[in-house]
């Protein structure tokens, strides 16, 4: 008698449209892969995990995105594949690595990982109407190298990304990003000064809102929310998704984002 394989939502044959969680994971993995490609990095797609390494010393694109729960007999093999790909023992490989899981995992500290947290994942249904931006804020979509460099500078200074503080323009965001149709970027300006930024990755049927930040001196003016609206409506026919910190969660819920789930994020440093 042939055993029937029941759909779990994370089989290699599971369609992207099976759930918004699956859409999000595949969207995230594709963005990480594109980042690795722009920087001449490596990508490996396996049934259980999508592996991307941009080669940057810092950045979320050095990422193992789990496509299945890390459980059972296969968990050990998946961790071996992750360790092999990222070459944690090699002195020539640098930058922290993120392990991105949609499901709770076992305690991975015994495998060399540190827990980053359990950020909430949100969904904004399509058809939402944004409020007008705050007075004094001008939001422009990135169309050229100068605007992309302004976006990059806000990201580096706003988060901040300390390892890139003295990096030359383009170190994080090379001009090749302007040719990537799935990527969209916005900069918010006060006069001639860039003060906030956001981006979106349009793939797998969603707008994934990423990299929302406002410079410290320009916060609490509604700028972050305004630029988030632009990213969330990058393709207004699609819903938007994002994961946030717990501190930022009230802002997104006020906008209409619905809390869906909590992710599990681990990280590991390389020499």
C-alpha 10 chain-centroid distance: 20
Residue 5: band (very low, low, confident or very high) from pLDDT cuts 50, 70, 90: confident
pLDDT in tens, 118-163: 999 999 999 999 999 999 999 999 999 999 999 999 999 999 999 8
Checking if the pLDDT of 200 tops 90, the result is: yes
Residue 2: band (very low, low, confident or very high) from pLDDT cuts 50, 70, 90: low
Q: Which two tokens stand for residue 141?
A: 């979509």
For 9-18, letters b (16+ CB in 10 Å) and e give ebeeeeeeee
244 inside domain:
no
Look at residues 113, 26, 20, 123 and name the one whose alpha carbon lies nearest to residue 66. Answer: 26
Enclosing H/E stretch for 268? strand 264-268
- Alpha-helical (H) ranges within 125-222 are 145-158
pLDDT in tens, 226-249: 999 999 999 999 999 999 999 999
Domain range for 37: 16-120+264-268
254 inside domain:
no
What is the average pLDDT value for the chain, to the nearest integer?
95
Tell whether 196 and 96 lie within a shared domain.
Answer: no
2 inside domain:
no
Tell whether 110 and 150 lie within a shared domain.
Answer: no
Checking if the pLDDT of 260 tops 70, the result is: yes
pLDDT in tens, 12-23: 999 999 999 999
Over residues 248-258, the mean pLDDT reads 96
Tell whether 96 and 130 lie within a shared domain.
Answer: no
Tell whether 108 and 140 lie within a shared domain.
Answer: no
Enclosing H/E stretch for 97? strand 97-101
Tell whether 103 and 148 lie within a shared domain.
Answer: no
Indicate the pTM of the whole model: 0.95
Domain tally, the chain: 2
Tell whether 105 and 191 lie within a shared domain.
Answer: no
Tell whether 78 and 180 lie within a shared domain.
Answer: no
The predicted structure's pLDDT at residue 19: 98
Q: How far apart are CA 53 and CA 171, in angstroms?
A: 16
Q: What is the largest CA-CA distance in the chain?
A: 72
Tell whether 112 and 30 lie within a shared domain.
Answer: yes
């Amino acid at each position: 008698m042939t055993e029937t394989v029941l759909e779990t939502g994370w089989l290699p044959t599971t369609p992207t449209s099976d759930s918004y969680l699956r859409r999000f994971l595949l969207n995230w993995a594709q963005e990480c892969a594109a980042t690795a490609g722009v920087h001449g990095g490596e990508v490996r797609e396996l049934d259980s995990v999508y592996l991307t390494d941009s080669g940057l010393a810092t950045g979320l694109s050095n990422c193992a995105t789990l496509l299945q729960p890390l459980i059972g007999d296969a968990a050990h093999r998946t961790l071996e594949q992750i360790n092999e790909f990222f070459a944690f023992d090699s002195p020539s490989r640098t930058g922290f690595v993120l392990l991105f899981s949609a499901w709770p995992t076992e305690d991975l500290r015994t495998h060399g990982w540190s827990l980053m947290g359990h950020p909430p994942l949100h969904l904004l249904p399509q058809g939402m109407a944004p409020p007008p931006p705050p007075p004094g804020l001008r939001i422009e979509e990135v169309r050229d190298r100068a605007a992309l460099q302004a976006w990059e500078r806000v990201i580096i200074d706003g988060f901040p990304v300390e390892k890139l503080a003295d990096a030359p323009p383009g170190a994080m965001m090379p001009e090749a990003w302007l040719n990537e149709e799935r990527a969209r970027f916005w900069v918010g300006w006060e006069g001639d000064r860039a003060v906030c930024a956001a981006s979106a990755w349009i793939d797998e049927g969603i707008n994934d809102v990423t990299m929302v930040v406002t410079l410290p001196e320009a916060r609490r003016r509604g700028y972050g929310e305004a630029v988030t609206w632009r990213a969330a409506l990058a393709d207004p026919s699609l819903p938007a998704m994002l994961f946030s910190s717990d501190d930022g969660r009230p802002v997104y819920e006020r906008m209409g984002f619905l809390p869906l789930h909590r992710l599990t994020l681990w990280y590991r440093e390389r020499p």
